[in-house]
Amino acid sequence: MMMMLSVIGWFLFGLAIAGGLVLNFVGLFGNWVIFGAMASAWVFTGFRHFGLWAIAGLLVLALLGEGLEMAAASYGAGRFGGSRGAMTAAFVGCLIGAVVGTPWFPLVGTLAGACLGAFAAAAAYEYFIERRQPDAAIRVGTGAAIGKVAGIVAKSLVGIAMLFAAALTY
């Protein structure tokens, strides 16, 4: 009976890890799922695997991944010539777009909504508030969308780094 519970537990652990990686690739909270799976495995194995320092390191990595993802759209807008206001608008547009896109097409809608939201908010800010020409505003919006995609890639890479850190401390 105990062996079967162990197999089921590690199977669920693997599903959570795989699910976390997929969630990262669509711009959702995958690193937190990975962190939760690791912390749960640490607790359910009687604190034999991973260790407190590993769990703390995974927490730091999860926070880093979120920070990178959040900052990337703003950075992209700025890198493509946007003002500080456009950078803030890209960040807010990213969040709003993700929330609006999710009910329409779960997972994919979240990613598309976040990218479109970052684009639209940054471009609109540059066009309406900064009074920039349409082509310049679109360029800033494009930078925000590219930044969002780069943030998702960075967050996903942090998720993979979390797996390597966990494997090394198992």
pLDDT in the model for residue 108: 85
* pLDDT tens figures, 12-49: 999 999 999 999 988 889 999 999 999 999 998 888 88
Residue 130 confidence (pLDDT) above 90: yes
Domain limits at 71? 2-169
Q: Which residue has the higher pLDDT, 9 or 34?
A: 34
pLDDT in the model for residue 20: 95
The reported pTM is 0.86
Mean pLDDT of the chain: 92
The DSSP string of 66-109 is HHHHHHHHHHHHHHTT--HHHHHHHHHHHHHHHHHHHHHSTTHH
* pLDDT tens figures, 58-101: 999 999 998 898 889 899 999 999 999 999 999 999 989 988 99
65: CB partners within 8 A, 6+ apart: 24, 31, 154, 155, 158, 159, 162
Number of domains in the chain: 1
